[in-house]
Amino acid sequence: MRQCSKQHCCRFRDLTHAGTYVVDDRGRIIDVSPRAEHLLRRSAAELLGRDAHDALHRGRGGEPLPRSLCDMRQPLLEGVTASGEDAWLERGDGSLMQISWMVTPCGSEADGGANALVIFYETGSSVSGEWVRAQAPTTMTELDRLALLAETTTTLTSSLDSDETIRHLVRLVVPLLADWVVIDLLTEEGEVVRNTVVHHENGVLTHREDLERLMPPLSMESPMPLSRALRGVTATLVGPEHYQGPPDSGIAVAQRELFEATGIHSACIAPIRGVRDVVGAMTLGRAVQPHPFSTNDLLLVEDIARRAGLALDNARLYERQRRVAETMQRHLLPRLPSVPGLEMGACYLPAPRASQVGGDWYDAFVLSGETTGLVIGDVVGHDLDAASGMAQVCNMLRAYAGELEEPPSAVMERLDQAVVRMAEATMATAVFARAERSGDGWRLRWTNAGHPPPLLIEENGRTRYLEEASSMLLGTGFAPARKDAVVELPPRSTLLFYTDGLIESPTHSLDDGLDRLREEAAALTRHPLSTYCDRLLGRVRPADNDDDVAMLTLRVPG
């Protein structure tokens, strides 16, 4: 580790009381000391891999701190040693901690010392043992406003998930601009939903779920501020006096109840406009902060709401496309056939909300001569094109398999040639297998085109990955020679086909995923196939995997 200069280290004589963490050249936390965990009241697992600025650095009022105004960030970018006072970090419970700090480069000479060590002391609050509670500033300079708008654009465009975008928006404006934030959204059916009501109190953001609900219908004639904002009219400065007269709509009644329940004495209401339509409205309210909103505040809030509208509009468009792809994919997945002497089960789990839909599929169909075709596959990509490519590959494989009595390898070779000729470049992994009658039992004949190996679980708990007959994935243009493999399926054995979303994780090796699947699959074989897949998904699928999962199971009765 590089040595700190003497003039900086003299301010940090007793390192036993200092918290430390290390960030990489992208600002992500890669190491945390036990003392830092104690001071921050966060475990290392909660911090590792996260952007240090986004996770920890805050302004005096607990608001997200624009990167351009963060003194600790500059030495990280420049790779120099620097120190400072009066910075604020957010603890795990939402409280603030005032610190003095030092940042210094560290790392080996081989990597150029690209990492940085952050050393910090708790100051002020450590003397009395109380939590730091700072009020948000009552005024903002023009530089502060520009920095906030830049941070708003960067933060809100970082996600294509509506809920996550709203969470970012809340953290940007509360408590920096207001004590309360209310987000009302217009649904695709034209209804108004009070999606978010959040209050900042004692350094903590609290949801008021009792105020979050479906709102009365929007009046197209009402001159009241919220109704106007939901119709896209300009932002307005509002107080409780605006709702003291006879209400002209149900929304006006709901707004009066909001002011009474929150104690807001001054508010800004701004429309959240998308590219084509109004998405909703944002209400910022001050109850604890004594100063009322000004015209300058109104212009800033309107600009923030405009940027939020573009981000939410993009998120909705993305989610709409994802729903189309997912619906198409679900409709293309087959109903499993009824095969005497075999039990079959299958399931498909779409990717988490923040991810795109993929091209995973399974298939099962009856062939001639008491033979059943079994397929699991994954088209490369995560979008509507992947789902469309999945449909084409799936249909071609079924057609080739049923056309002639050929071994799986020959069918896969023909499919590979067809995939290469597709108009849109497509690559896919797949296992094609034939479950064939063998006297009183069953045997499996299969070939594997670059896909994770099927797992065979015997009644006694013994497991085996069927790794034979593996070759290159489909669509590469190399036309490799493919082989077949054969295995007898013991009575009361279970055969599992799956896609890589079940075992892959950015934080664990593939071998770890395969080992976990082997253990859990064996432990769950006592369960019927009707619940087997769901139980296996719940116990094996990594929480940090953003891929979809398809599974196909086969069980040979005793």
What pLDDT sits at residue 27?
A: 83
Q: Which two tokens stand for residue 178?
A: 């207001």
How are beta strands 441-449 and 470-471 bridged, if at all? parallel
Length of the chain: 558
CATH architecture group of domain 333-555: 4-Layer Sandwich (3.60)
Q: How far apart are the first and last CA of the chain?
A: 64
Most confident of 37-46, 51-60, 103-112: 37-46
**DSSP reduced 3-state for 520:** helix
Q: Which of 46-50, 65-69, 194-198 has the lowest mean pLDDT?
A: 65-69
Q: Which two tokens stand for residue 281?
A: 């409205």
- Cα separation, 312 vs 460, whole angstroms: 53
What string of H, E and C letters represents the secondary structure of 422-436? CCCCCCEEEEEEEEE
List, for residues 305-346, the tens digit of each pLDDT value: 999 999 999 888 888 877 776 676 666 678 899 999 899 999
Could you tell me if 283 and 184 are in contact, meaning their C-beta atoms sit under 8 angstroms apart?
A: yes
What pLDDT sits at residue 191?
A: 95
The domain 142-322 having CATH identifier 3.40.50.80: the answer here is: no
State the chain's mean pLDDT as an integer: 85
Residues of each domain in the chain carrying CATH 3.60.40.10: 333-555
Which pTM was predicted?
Answer: 0.56
What string of H, E and C letters represents the secondary structure of 44-104? HHHHCCCEHHHHHEECCCCCECCHHHCCCHHHHHHCCCEEEEEEEEECCCCCEEEEEEEEE
List, for residues 435-493, the tens digit of each pLDDT value: 999 888 999 999 999 999 999 999 999 999 999 999 999 999 888 899 999 999 999 99
State mean pLDDT over 171-198: 93
- Cα separation, 477 vs 252, whole angstroms: 65
DSSP state letters, 154-173: HHHTT---HHHHHHHHHHHH
The domain 6-128 having CATH identifier 3.30.450.20: the answer here is: yes
Residues of each domain in the chain carrying CATH 3.30.450.20: 6-128
Q: How many CB atoms lie within 10 A of CB 37?
A: 18
The closest alpha carbon to 330, from 347, 311, 305, belongs to 347
Identify the bridge partners of residue 485 per DSSP, sorted by sequence position: 446
List, for residues 493-540, the tens digit of each pLDDT value: 999 999 999 999 888 899 999 999 999 999 999 899 989 999 999 899
For 406, phi and psi rounded to 5 degrees? Answer: -115, 155
List, for residues 71-103, the tens digit of each pLDDT value: 887 787 677 888 888 888 988 887 888 899 999
Q: How far is CA 197 from CA 37, 188, 248, in A?
A: 31, 21, 23
Residue of higher predicted confidence among 500 and 70? 500
Could you tell me if 512 and 473 are in contact, meaning their C-beta atoms sit under 8 angstroms apart?
A: no
- Cα separation, 549 vs 543, whole angstroms: 13
**Cis bond before residue 175 (omega within 30° of 0):** yes
The closest alpha carbon to 34, from 25, 24, 23, 42, belongs to 42
- Cα separation, 277 vs 280, whole angstroms: 9
Q: Where residue 55 falls among pLDDT bands split at 50, 70, 90?
A: confident
**DSSP reduced 3-state for 392:** helix
Count of alpha carbons within 13 Å of 357, Cβ hemisphere only?
Answer: 24
Alpha-helical runs (H) found in 263-341? 295-332
User: What percent of the chain has pLDDT above 70?
Assistant: 89
